[in-house]
Amino acid sequence: MITEQEKNDTVESVSENSKNEEIREETDTEHAHTTLPDFPGGSETFEAAVKYCYAIKIELTLLNVAQLRCTGEVLEMMEDYW
């Protein structure tokens, strides 16, 4: 289960690296809390998916590729949107 703090830490760390000032400002002013029970791969996989969405380099390994594929399905990250 991904906790609210883990999610907030991930989004905050990504927004610090983001070049988009608008996203950074929204993250600083909004404090959304979400719990995602039974998320495939847990908080580490969620963090990798968030980084991928913000074009931050992630390492694909034999250990995480299946989890990232499942995460893509859960988050409905389809090729139709590319």
Neighbouring CB atoms inside 10 A of 18's CB total 16
Please tell me the pTM assigned to this model: 0.55
Q: What is the DSSP code string of 27-38?
A: HHH------BTT
Distance CA 29, CA 79 (A): 32
Contact of 14 with 26, CB cutoff 8 Å: no
pLDDT at 61: 93
Token pair in block for residue 28:
């600083």
Distance CA 62, CA 38 (A): 21
pLDDT in tens, 33-69: 777 788 888 888 999 999 988 999 999 999 889 999 9
